[in-house]
């Protein structure tokens, strides 16, 4: 597998699976799947989806996002909800609620999600914008994409504490470096990690 995080929380897996494409600059391959965690502008961007979509692309998203996508795209659109398992085309995944505990930005009632995908017999967890929740702590994970920027999500110290509890093989920090969060936050995150966890930095 290969991973890219061009900016913020825009994640690309194997050059064909996209999560929350945002602020894509340059040349990118067309998407086989586009997963959206929620409808905030830095996670759901029609402009950026248009850069990577083809007639074969499948969009997987929450209900609020699906309603907007239906106005712009004729593609297959799969509406998902938290706490469910899915198989779409060739890909299997489950969803869990992604939300804030003590902030107003991502209420649990919005039914926004994180994703747990099985790819090449490994569990990849894309947290979305979340604090440390019971549902998140229950995930089985080999590769973890975790927000560290604070303000709207967990901060670096919380993100490293979560990572240590989940104990993935590899962790990739996201949600910093542009809108919120700094390279200093990245360093704080890495300093708090258990030494047996491999950290991969994709945001330059």
Could you report the per-residue pLDDT of 95-131, keeping only the tens digit for each? Answer: 999 999 999 999 999 999 999 999 999 999 999 999 9
Q: How far is CA 76 from CA 50, 122, 175, 188, in A?
A: 14, 26, 28, 41
CA gap 55, 91 in Å, rounded: 18
Q: Does residue 174 surpass a pLDDT of 90?
A: yes
CA gap 48, 128 in Å, rounded: 18
Residue 168 pLDDT level (bands cut at 50, 70, 90) = very high
Element (H, E) at 51: helix 46-52
Q: Does residue 166 surpass a pLDDT of 90?
A: yes
pLDDT score of 138: 97
Residue 191 pLDDT level (bands cut at 50, 70, 90) = very high
pLDDT score of 39: 97
Tens digits of per-residue pLDDT, 60-70?
Answer: 999 999 999 99
Mean pLDDT on 1-16: 96
Residue 204 pLDDT level (bands cut at 50, 70, 90) = confident
Mean pLDDT on 30-46: 98
The candidate with the shortest Cα–Cα distance to 189, out of 166, 157, 167, is 157
């Amino acid at each position: 597998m290969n991973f890219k995080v061009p900016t913020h929380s825009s994640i690309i897996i194997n050059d064909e699976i996209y999560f929350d494409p945002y602020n894509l600059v340059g040349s990118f391959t067309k998407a086989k799947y586009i997963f959206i965690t929620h409808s905030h502008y830095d996670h759901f961007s029609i402009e950026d989806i248009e850069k990577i979509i083809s007639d074969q692309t499948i969009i997987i998203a929450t209900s609020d996002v699906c309603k907007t996508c239906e106005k712009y795209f004729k593609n297959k659109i799969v509406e998902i909800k938290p706490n469910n398992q899915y198989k779409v085309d060739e890909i299997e995944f489950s969803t869990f609620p992604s939300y804030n505990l003590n902030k107003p930005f991502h209420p649990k009632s919005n039914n926004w999600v994180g994703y747990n995908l099985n790819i090449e017999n490994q569990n990849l967890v894309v947290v979305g914008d979340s604090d440390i929740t019971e549902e998140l702590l229950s995930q089985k994970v080999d590769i973890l994409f975790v927000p560290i920027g604070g303000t709207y999500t967990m901060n670096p110290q919380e993100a490293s504490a979560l990572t240590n509890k989940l104990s993935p093989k590899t962790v990739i920090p996201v949600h910093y470096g542009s809108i919120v969060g700094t390279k200093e936050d990245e360093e704080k995150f890495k300093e708090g990690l258990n030494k047996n966890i491999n950290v991969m930095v994709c945001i330059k």
